[in-house]
Amino acid sequence: MPAGIPNAFVGWSRMSRWSCINANYQTPVSRFRAWLGKVMWWSRISEQSALLLLGIGVGVVSGLGAVAFRWLISQFHVLFFEGGRITFSLMGPHHYTALLPMVGGVIVGLLTYFGAREAKGHGVPEIMEAVAEHGGRIRPRVAIVKSLASSICIGSGGSVGREGPIAQIGAALGSTMGQVLKLSESRVRTLVACGAGGGIAATFNAPLAGAFFALEIILADWKAESFAPVVSAAVAAAAIGRWAFGDMPAFTIPEYEVSTFAQLPMFLVLGLLAAFVGVAFTRLLYLFEDGFETLPIPPWLLPAFGGALVGVVGLYDINLYGVGYGAIGDALCGINYTGVGILLTMLVLKLLATCLTLGSGGSGGIFAPSLFMGSMLGAMLGHSVAAISSNVSPGAYALAGMGAVFAAASHAPVTATLIVFELTGDYRMILPLMLACGVSVVIARAVYRFSIYNLKLVRRGVHVGLGQDTRLLNEIKVAEAMATNIVSVSPEAKVRDVAELFDCTKHHGFPLVDEENRLHGIVTLGDVRRAGPEALDKPVKEIATHELVIAFPDESLNDALRKLGLRNVGRLPVVDPNDHCKLLGLITRKNIITAYNRALIRAHTNLERTQDKEYYE
């Protein structure tokens, strides 16, 4: 291979040579890869620079995708609400809206069930799973199905947001680019994050929040090689968004600020309340999802049933439909929603409507509902404080509440702080906002360890917060790693004989097993040394350890390793789960390390074989 070709693009240079031999069988994609491989070779561009350029390309594409997605939402909103007003005119000027989420639910259910089932729900967990478990691979069709399903769901009045869908759409576009160019898994993951962050940046005019959303939630790391492409993608996408939507924050708010430090403790209270709202949102969403799955209704029809219930809820206030930015703006400005009772009702109904929409299989994000509930919660506290103290702006509390509830639900305080700041463009509230978000995350994690994003994956057995090493240790069972050909001693053996056995074998511990293969304990070299010369003629059972920490064959190596560390022991007897005195084997740290290394080599070998197969196909 000629010098100077970046490792990430070796596949392109190989493809260019292979396609020259098989020119008659070239496709447009393979010709493009061959051309790009030659460009990379002759330009001598570094691998990191090439990835940076690809990140910018993904940002541009995801920015255009965000523009198209918002256009689709507006078109479907007009189609459903204006068309519905004419079609169902006999129901009155407002009551006809109760039918729209149900009609949209029928279409969404058919699209997601028969088109791409990973397109239902709020989308971000699917991106996290793709990055953690599938090398960033997302089916290209997801971008199309998610665009249609989410725009129809939001446009017909489903109580969801647009950040989850646009993140998944952008991620699918980035993944598709990486797969087409046959990049390594780590590069594909980076492009997935570029697409997700770019989508957020474009649709909300929030480049900082988009970049940190991708780094904090999608990749869950801050590596330098990922940072530059993700940030560049967010900037490029935000530029596209500003070109299409203008350079204006999503919410225009009055000038308010926290005039005295005496008000800061109230933002601590707000963070506390927001933590419980965020946890309630997380738990209720999946309780509703479980409840809908038990209904004797075809899966593709569940979103219609949920939509019908959302329509009933929406009769209370039309702002409960869709993203609800109108109500959020009113809460920030202190108009329309000023009574504590009304604000509490709106919060509860929005929580109910969102859980009904997503729990039944609708398609949309949780960010806008979190902002809605947070603004109502903050305004409630703000109006309560204003009733007993002057110079208090309820809108300031509404703004901080927006970020605090999202932070509590997502466990992403940096993203929550930045995105609310960029949505409002008000830097003066950054300190109360940071305080409320920080407190809400700390308390939410203490109350419930899972976020609204990773709980969905944990329920599937996917632990995206863990590194590759921990995932492998969770996948390997003790039965696969334990030693079965073990040296044991009789409980009645003399300590002198056991000491000689230690010298001969160089082992550090033996299980005590009688003639019936019953486990009585473990004796270690340390036990013999502590017993001293006076115990050489005693039975070994008198100096052995009989209160044992045991392992079972169906436990994971991670469980075994945790037990070894908890009691600071070097080995665990593996026993029958139904008979703890029946010894099956022994597992040590060395056994665990050996099994892990084999699994790691096997995983890399299978990956290389898979990539080679895809390459030659």
- In this prediction, residue 285 carries a pLDDT of 92
Query: Counting beta carbons within 10 angstroms of the beta carbon of residue 11, is it exposed (0 to 12), middle (13 to 18) or buried (19 or more)?
Result: buried
**What does the pLDDT read at residue 607?**
43
Are the beta carbons of 509 and 564 closer than 8 angstroms? Answer: no
283 in a structural domain: yes
* 3 state SS for 553-585: CCCEHHHHHHHHHHHCCCEEEEEECCEEEEEEE
271, 420: one domain: yes
Q: Which residue has the higher pLDDT, 539 or 26?
A: 539
Tell me how far CA of residue 302 lies from CA of 19, 103, 385, 471, 595, in angstroms: 49, 12, 43, 34, 45
Asked if the model's pLDDT at residue 18 lies above 70, the reply is no
The Cα 341–Cα 159 span in angstroms is 21
pLDDT at 102: 93
Domain boundary among 241, 274, 303: 241
Which tokens sit at 450? 């899972």
Among 216-230, 278-292, 391-405, which range has the highest average pLDDT? 278-292
Q: Which of 444, 464, 484 lies at the terminal end of a domain, its last residue?
A: 464
Higher pLDDT, 539 or 224: 539
Shared-domain flag, residues 146 and 214: yes
What pLDDT was estimated at residue 588?
83
Is residue 29 pLDDT above 80, yes or no? no
Same domain membership, residue 306 and residue 385: yes
**What pLDDT is recorded for position 457?**
78
pLDDT band at 32 (very low <50, low <70, confident <90, very high): low
pLDDT at 426: 67
Region of poorest pLDDT, from 41-55, 66-80, 205-219, 233-247: 41-55
Whether 410 and 346 share a structural domain:
yes
Whole-angstrom distance, CA of residue 5 vs CA of residue 454: 38
Question: Alpha carbon 28 to chain centroid distance?
Answer: 35
Say if residue 10's pLDDT is above 70: no
Tell me, what's the pLDDT at 614? 39
Q: Where are the alpha helices (DSSP H) in 294-393?
A: 302-314, 325-333, 340-359, 367-386
Distance CA 478, CA 496 (A): 33
Q: Is pLDDT of 25 > 50?
A: no
Of these ranges, 25-29, 343-347, 559-563, the one predicted with the greatest mean pLDDT is 343-347
Q: What is the CATH number of the domain that holds 87?
A: 1.10.3080.10
| pLDDT beyond 60 at 259 | no
Residue 319 belongs to some domain of the structure: yes
Other beta carbons less than 10 A from residue 578's beta carbon:
7
How confident is residue 369, by pLDDT bands cut at 50, 70 and 90?
very high
DSSP state of 543: T
CATH code of the domain in which 540 resides: 3.10.580.10
pLDDT over 90 percentage in the chain: 20
Confidence bin at 503 (pLDDT 50/70/90)? confident
pLDDT average, residue stretch 174-188: 81
Task: Please tell me whether residues 17 and 60 are part of one structural domain.
Answer: no
Q: Are residues 547 and 523 in the same domain?
A: yes
Residue 318: partners with Cβ closer than 8 Å, 6 or more residues away = 94, 97
**84 within a domain of the structure (yes/no):** yes
**pLDDT at res. 335:** 81
- At 273 the pLDDT is 95
Pairing of strands 579-588, 519-524: unpaired
351 within domain boundaries: yes
299 shares a domain with 216: no
Does 583 lie in the same domain as 497? Answer: yes
What percentage of the chain carries pLDDT values higher than 70? 84
**382 and 445 belong to one structural domain:** yes
DSSP string, 369-396: HHHHHHHHHHHHHHHHHHTTSSS--HHH
Handedness of CA 245, 370, 286, 349 (dihedral sign): negative
pLDDT of residue 467: 47
Burial string for 581-592 (b: 16+ CB within 10 Å, else e) reads: eebbbbbbeebb
| pLDDT for 377 beyond 90 | yes
Per-residue pLDDT tens digits for 268-324:
999 999 999 999 999 999 999 889 989 998 989 999 999 999 999 988 888 899 888
Same domain, 83 and 158: yes
154: in domain: yes
Per the structure, how many domains does the chain have?
4
pLDDT tens, residue by residue, 75-100: 999 999 888 788 777 776 677 888 89
Answer yes or no: is 32 within a domain.
Answer: yes
pLDDT at residue 2, rounded to an integer: 41
Look at residue 30 in the predicted model and tell me its pLDDT.
59
**Residue range of the domain that includes 328:** 261-464
pLDDT at 466 over 70: no
- What's this model's pTM, rounded to 2 decimal places? 0.71
Residue 483 bridge partners (DSSP): 586
Distance of CA 450 to the CA centre of its chain: 10
Q: Which of 434, 464, 494 is the last residue of a domain?
A: 464
Amino acid 485: pLDDT: 80
Mean pLDDT of 131-135: 74
Helix-helix angle 340-359:302-314, to 10 degrees: 170
Note whether 146 and 29 are same-domain residues.
no
Query: Would you say residue 1 has pLDDT above 50?
Result: no
315 in a structural domain = yes
Tell me the pLDDT tens digit for each residue of 322-359. Answer: 888 888 888 888 787 778 889 999 999 999 999 999 99
Dist CA 137 CA 406 (whole Å): 28
Quick one: pLDDT band at residue 17, thresholds 50, 70, 90? very low
484 shares a domain with 445: no
Count the neighbouring beta carbons within 10 Å of the beta carbon of residue 449.
Answer: 12
Q: What is the mean pLDDT of residues 464-480?
A: 66
Q: State the average pLDDT for the chain.
A: 80
d(Cα 179, Cα 172) in Å, to the nearest integer? 10
pLDDT score at 312? 92
Asked whether residue 338 is assigned to any structural domain, the reply reads: yes
